[in-house]
Homo-oligomer: A and B are copies of this chain.
């Protein structure tokens, strides 16, 4: 499935035939955006024929990718960028790679599913097309900027999850806290593995080996670069916060354990001491003077009570209770 958008001197042209692309590219002041969703083999073949992409580049573009990357070819870039979404209920990140071929006057985007930013950027372009100097660089910038802006949304959603986990630790004492923290940490790691190499992509774009951006536009690119740097920093701060949360949780567990062992120790000692008294008066010696006395039984009970209360007071005083 493909969408072909062609802008020329005076406005957008209605061109649907991919075979015309190579001719259009020759004409001055033309800008082409070809967007492909799950391209067919014949569409790929058209790409090769019309744009003259290197077979290796096309192969690269169609492969499953694990990481963002940029490759510089003579006259164009191959960029693999990621759109990222967050499913808060499952605490999982969704990644959708977008492959871009970026030349001086064209942009080819290939994706395996719908990417909101592509539609939005296309709409925005059609609205702003009258702006003089609206070129491939503007479209590319707009697309990348929109994608990166959404990263902040994702990060904020993760941030909210972190807030929740943190509350869970200190207020409700939930048990699964450890695994939740781990899941969030992993999300942050996966996110970072997208963001960090994209920083490098922008760095390559800034190097201008293929001249896409006007000098005055480089500031915008640097801006996106700065956003990615800031995202990386924020991700690292969150990872740090999660580590702190886990440490605090461990310390709370320690408190709880100490409390439990205190209770165990105190009651064990009291009950064992009383049992010892009972055991003593349960011995079968013939000569045990107390046994015959009428006050023997109440005395034994009183002795137990005294021991229990005495130990209770002693532990209290030792600041144990």
The answer to whether B255 and A257 touch across the interface, beta carbons within 8 angstroms, is no
On chain B, the residues within 8 Å of A246 by CB distance are: 244, 247-248, 251
The answer to whether A286 and B282 touch across the interface, beta carbons within 8 angstroms, is no
Cα separation A196 to B275 with both chains bound (whole Å): 65
Binds B, one of A5-13, A18-26, A98-106, A294-302: A294-302
Closest to A252 in B: B178
Question: Chain A: interface residue count, which band?
Answer: 35 or more
The answer to whether A297 and B288 touch across the interface, beta carbons within 8 angstroms, is yes
Residues of A232-270 at the interface with B, using a CB-CB cut-off of 8 Å, are: 233-234, 237, 239-258, 260-265, 267-269
Is A226 at the interface (CB under 8 A from chain B)?
Answer: yes
Is A117 at the interface (CB under 8 A from chain B)?
Answer: no
Binds B, one of A40-48, A80-88, A179-187: A179-187
Is A72 at the interface (CB under 8 A from chain B)?
Answer: yes
On chain B, the residues within 8 Å of A178 by CB distance are: 170, 248, 251-252, 255
The answer to whether A264 and B267 touch across the interface, beta carbons within 8 angstroms, is no
Closest 5 CB pairs of A and B: A278-B279, A281-B283, A271-B272, A178-B251, A264-B265
Q: Which residues of A contact B (CB under 8 A)?
A: 66-67, 71-72, 152, 156, 166, 169-170, 175, 177-179, 181-182, 185-186, 189, 192-193, 196-197, 200, 209, 219, 223, 226, 229-230, 233-234, 237, 239-258, 260-265, 267-269, 271-276, 278-288, 290-294, 296-297, 300-301, 304
